[in-house]
Structure 1
Amino acid sequence: MGSKMNQSFETWSFDDSCKTMAWSPVSAVDLTASGSGLDNWADDADLVFLGIFAPPSDDDEKDDEEDKEEETVEPTLEGPAKDLDESLGGAISNLMIENFKDFKNGAEAGSTLPTLRVYQDSKAKRYILIGLGSQPKDSDSLEIGSAVGKALATKCNSEKKAASAKFLLPESVAVDAKNLKDMASSFYSTLYEDNRHRTGKKVVTQAEDLKSLTLLSDGPSSSDTMQDALDTGKKLATGMHMTKDIVNAPHNVLNSESLADTARRLAEESGGSLTCKVLGKEECEERGMGAYLGVARGSETQPQFIHITYTPPEGDVKKRVGVVGKGLLFDTGGYNIKTQMMELMKFDCGGAAAVLGAARAIGALKPPGVECHFVVAACENMINEKAIVPSDVLTASNGKTIEVLNTDAEGRLTLADALVYCDKELDCESIIELSTLTGACMVALGKKVCGVWTDDDDLAEELKDVSKVTEEKSWRMPMEKSYNEQLKSKIADMTNLGAPYGGSITAALFLQNFVDKKKPFAHIDIAGPVWDDKIGATGFGAKLAAEWIRRQGETDE
């Protein structure tokens, strides 16, 4: 009986909070690229994927249904794909012709078209057509990316007992590094599954039987260039895995102490590119972090102020930047207790999750030229006799006083001291901050788009471009200065809450009080896209932050 009871308390006890969080493994599939040796390329693969272009659109196509039925198409198979088709007696061409309607209407990038099952004596168990969208023009690269990576992962996972797979791209088509990076990132992210708290039969979405997937292309890109892009994509996906794990974790597993442990383990895993220090309650008190500690004192779990530093292993540092994440490991609302959605408030650490995911990716990618400081003021918004109450006045580490009108507007209080630390103590030249800060942002932008608030037009353009590259949708929101009137207090420098309308804007204006106005600073509210009701954590924000950091080392400014 004792042994059985102990298994229920592997990481926590009745008296003590959990000290560590398990991490979900990244799929072990070896994703490689090859640009040579395409003779008999399909002979040693259990699964064969063929990239297929959609037929050219016909602007003069008639509307008459009878004419459409008589329409025929010649499959566009060339080179190694054509050779394979001939070795199979034209089976692939026939498959395309027989399913022409689906092929023509469904060959957008990432669609999985009809599958040819085991054919004669061939080793491959399946021949699967993957839609690549329209054929690129001579000067364009092939637009394969996230959609194709997701399709490959889904099919690889569904085809059990397949140990090897090959994916052939059309003959002589150029594929740029960004597309391959996106494909790899999507491939590994799609295979993510959180089995940490399941017993018995696990949910398997990691293509566990598959050992290798080889991308074959005889285009102008070298094998090394393609492989570097695939490796980069996997490193980004590894960061997204961390982000998902943190957001998915229940509060009795993930609290400020186990998050701090996760940060330390990230640094150890990095091989020296990341270092981590964690400030405790006393060190935060010495720095005057009254806003952060005001929130934290309502919880029995000790606050953990996390600071991870990335330093490039080689070359000069061109820029020092800060990335701050909101780290509320659970948000009850405090004495202004939440009346709905409390079961989802484990995702209130989504900003911290994105920041630690980005740190993991950056530690693996090792971009040159940029020093980055990842900062999370981790705590819980709980209720006890020491917790803040409405009307309390807190003093932040820059000396500004804040009247607490609502204890459920606590995230901005913790961020205030984190931003001052980044600005004053670390002297970061540019700062971005990610947080699940307001429901008002979700009302404005829904659950697919994050909001960006900044007074710096250059930084706004940077983030807009990064958002497009990472396929994490964003929208710049107004910094309406007249709304500062809503933050005026009768007894303190400001309040922590504005009027009922425009709440996402007043939250951004509040945060501006804790960063030097001359420094580029952006507040990014990811409350909407951080969580999907069907799949749980999305990993949103990790790639966006990592890509922004990487680009900072490319500038001489």
Structure 2
Amino acid sequence: MFQVPVIDVNNDQAIFDGEGFDAVVVVTPNLNDVAQQEITLLADHAKQIDHRVGKQATLLFAPGLAGGRLIIAPVNGDDDYADVRIYAKAAKEGITIAKDAGAKKPLLIVAVSKDHRFSFATEVAALACGQALWQPLETREAQSLSPAFNAIGVMSSLPKSDVLNALEAGRVLARDLCGTEPERMSAIHFADYCVESFKDSGLDVAVVEDKNTLLKDYPLLSAVGRSSFDVARHHPRVVKLAYTGEGQITKTLLFAGKGVVYDTGGADIKIAGGMAGMSRDKGGAAAVAGLMKTLSLLKPKGIKVIAELGLVRNSIGSEAFVTDEIITSHAGVRVRIGNTDAEGRLVLADLLSHLRIQASQSTAPSLFSVATLTGHVVRAYGGYSALVENAVAKQQGVAAKLQQIGQQWAEPFEVSYLRPEDFDKVADKNGSADVISSNNGPSSVTARGHQYPAAFLLKASGLDLHGLQSDLPLSYTHIDIAGSATEGDPLYGKPTAQPLVALLHFTND
């Protein structure tokens, strides 16, 4: 696994060359907030000859400090609407300068703010360094790259390294799975990469690969992959993962991850350049896999986490499924296909149906789907993830909790609501089927284009039978990460692994 380990430091002497550090990176909103007087004095002196110091990230020659390098990365933009991401931005700028300057073991110091918005600023800054340093798997393999740093020290009075290292290990896995091109990370290779990553992890790991089993148990997923069955290297897979913590289980979380390893749109083919970047349509499955990696390292007690990852290529060919077909889901629901480019919800529906059965036998279950599902969520919310919950989850405050956690950990969410119109939209108007998967237009120009898929998922998976008035209410929250799965360039930007960090802390909430 390609990552830079974080080590805890609780000794101001480390800013001098005492523990092998060769650069000091200071992330601070104000130079006067820095606790180490030596740093403040150097920065104040530098400001007299370089007015950029304290305003933009700068490298200072600092004799006597570790490596002779002092990097001041100011936190800018702190106003009424700012959140902890301003610390992440500063940390990325600072750690990039350290790397470019030739440092191999920098020490990160974050000036701690008393503002509750920034309670986890140190952790967020450290994780931002990992995001900045990650390199694509293809590049690492082609060029035999080594990590940029040997380690990063984090100055803190409380130990943070165990959680940070476990989170970053999960995020590295998630970025690798999401960001790698469609042949290197086909459904088969995605599954193999997971199996290898979870070796000796303590997780229960199983891969469904038999065609007849997939056709029988995952009929909607198999419809999406119907044309890919003709190509041996493109066969679909379902990866099943389970983590069981020690002690009495007090709650169970169940995740369905969309892993469309490449989306051509199928028979409703993407045109005019719309296919570019569609190897990233597996970001949901990637984030869930990364979460399971982190859990396997931290081993929290008293919880059980179950995941199913649906891995499939939505290919074009003579065997491709087409609009107007009626296909019966795993839950026994007859689904009319409205658009073959709305394939992700088909994959998720079968996964959720399997998880529904497991949830009915579990302690305090909460179900989730995680997917790069719609263009509409990007139109509506830009780079933010959307939460759409059923009535049971809403009553339990699931989205509200996730939103609060995400705000503190630099993975903010927007909350959307299911409305009666969303269920009307998926009703098959002539009664030939129980539900229709979508309209026949792009979600980005469809009213409520990221909300109504949650209504379809409830109906097609059988979860609609587990509402507030049922004998067995089940909490379900859909998470659309189409806008947040990558940063910068939406087609080829660096994968973020969102919402892994928020989901981890939700499990421990």
Residue among 246, 249, 267 paired with 1:335: 267
Residue among 167, 176, 180 paired with 2:122: 180
Residue 438 of structure 1 and its aligned partner are, at CA, apart by 1.3
Distance 1:77 1:424 in 2: 54
* Contact 2:110-2:122 within 8 A present in 1 as well: no
* Contact 1:144-1:183 within 8 A present in 2 as well: no
Instruction: Give 2:373's aligned amino acid.
Output: L
Query: In the alignment, what sits opposite 1:98?
Result: 49
* Contact 2:182-2:261 within 8 A present in 1 as well: yes
Q: What pairs with 1:298-447 in structure 2 (closer than 5 Å)?
A: 298-300=227-229, 301-312=234-245, 314-339=246-271, 340-427=273-360, 429-446=365-382
Distance 2:251 2:315 in 1: 38
* Contact 2:113-2:119 within 8 A present in 1 as well: no
Q: What pairs with 1:89-488 in structure 2 (closer than 5 Å)?
A: 92-99=43-50, 101-103=51-53, 106=55, 112-113=57-58, 115-117=59-61, 119=63, 124-131=67-74, 145-160=87-102, 162-167=103-108, 178-194=120-136, 196-197=138-139, 206-207=147-148, 210-216=149-155, 221=157, 225-226=158-159, 229-270=160-201, 272=202, 274-280=203-209, 281-287=211-217, 289-300=218-229, 301-312=234-245, 314-339=246-271, 340-427=273-360, 429-446=365-382, 448-455=383-390, 456-457=393-394, 458-488=397-427
Query: In the alignment, what sits opposite 1:3?
Result: none
Cα displacement string for residues 510-537 of structure 1 (whole angstroms, at most 9, x for unaligned residues)? 0111223221111111111213316332
* Contact 1:53-1:132 within 8 A present in 2 as well: yes
SS in 2 for 1:251: coil
Instruction: Give 1:484's aligned amino acid.
Output: F
SS in 1 for 2:508: helix
Query: In the alignment, what sits opposite 2:436?
Result: 495
Distance 1:348 1:40 in 2: 43
Instruction: Give 1:411's aligned amino acid.
Output: G
Cα displacement string for residues 70-102 of structure 1 (whole angstroms, at most 9, x for unaligned residues)? xxxxx7776x534x78xxxx6554213334x53
Residue 395 of structure 1 and its aligned partner are, at CA, apart by 0.3
* Contact 2:411-2:498 within 8 A present in 1 as well: yes
Cα displacement string for residues 493-516 of structure 1 (whole angstroms, at most 9, x for unaligned residues)? 111113743222221110111223
Distance 2:269 2:377 in 1: 20
Q: Do the aligned partners of residues 126 and 197 (structure 1) sit closer, same or farther apart at CA in structure 2, a change above 3 Å counting? A: closer
Query: In the alignment, what sits opposite 1:536?
Result: 494
Distance 2:244 2:263 in 1: 33
Cα displacement string for residues 40-84 of structure 1 (whole angstroms, at most 9, x for unaligned residues)? 8346643234566626xxxxxxxxxxxxxxxxxxx7776x534x7
* Contact 1:267-1:308 within 8 A present in 2 as well: no
SS in 1 for 2:339: coil
Q: Do the aligned partners of residues 173 and 258 (structure 1) sit closer, same or farther apart at CA in structure 2, a change above 3 Å counting? A: same
Instruction: Give 2:506's aligned amino acid.
Output: W
SS in 1 for 2:319: coil
Query: In the alignment, what sits opposite 1:62?
Result: none
Higher mean C-alpha deviation, range 408-417 or range 460-469:
460-469
Q: Do the aligned partners of residues 173 and 277 (structure 1) sit closer, same or farther apart at CA in structure 2, a change above 3 Å counting? A: same
Higher mean C-alpha deviation, range 150-159 or range 411-420:
150-159
Higher mean C-alpha deviation, range 393-402 or range 481-490:
481-490
Could you tell me the TM-score, scaled by structure 2's length?
0.82
Residue 421 of structure 1 and its aligned partner are, at CA, apart by 0.3
Distance 1:378 1:317 in 2: 29
Instruction: Give 2:247's aligned amino acid.
Output: G
Q: Do the aligned partners of residues 197 and 370 (structure 1) sit closer, same or farther apart at CA in structure 2, a change above 3 Å counting? A: same
Q: Do the aligned partners of residues 403 and 189 (structure 1) sit closer, same or farther apart at CA in structure 2, a change above 3 Å counting? A: same
Q: Pick the structure with greater CA Rg.
A: 1
Distance 1:336 1:172 in 2: 52
Identity %: 21
Distance 2:405 2:65 in 1: 45
Query: In the alignment, what sits opposite 2:81?
Result: none
Q: Do the aligned partners of residues 383 and 39 (structure 1) sit closer, same or farther apart at CA in structure 2, a change above 3 Å counting? A: closer
- For the pair 1:522 / 2:465, whether they are aligned, the reply is no
Runs of 5+ consecutive residues of structure 2 not aligned to the other structure: 79-83, 441-445, 468-472
Residue 153 of structure 1 and its aligned partner are, at CA, apart by 2.1
Distance 1:127 1:214 in 2: 14
Residue 492 of structure 1 and its aligned partner are, at CA, apart by 0.7
Distance 1:187 1:39 in 2: 19
Q: Do the aligned partners of residues 488 and 467 (structure 1) sit closer, same or farther apart at CA in structure 2, a change above 3 Å counting? A: same
Instruction: Give 1:359's aligned amino acid.
Output: M
Distance 1:172 1:337 in 2: 51
Q: What pairs with 1:51-90 in structure 2 (closer than 5 Å)?
A: 54=30, 81-82=37-38
* Contact 1:153-1:188 within 8 A present in 2 as well: no
Instruction: Give 1:299's aligned amino acid.
Output: S
- For the pair 1:31 / 2:24, whether they are aligned, the reply is no
* Contact 2:112-2:121 within 8 A present in 1 as well: no
* Contact 2:85-2:410 within 8 A present in 1 as well: no
* Contact 1:324-1:434 within 8 A present in 2 as well: yes
Distance 1:170 1:537 in 2: 28
Runs of 5+ consecutive residues of structure 1 not aligned to the other structure: 1-23, 56-74, 136-141, 552-557
Residue 255 of structure 1 and its aligned partner are, at CA, apart by 1.6
Could you tell me the TM-score, scaled by structure 1's length?
0.76
Instruction: Give 1:256's aligned amino acid.
Output: A
Q: Do the aligned partners of residues 37 and 505 (structure 1) sit closer, same or farther apart at CA in structure 2, a change above 3 Å counting? A: closer
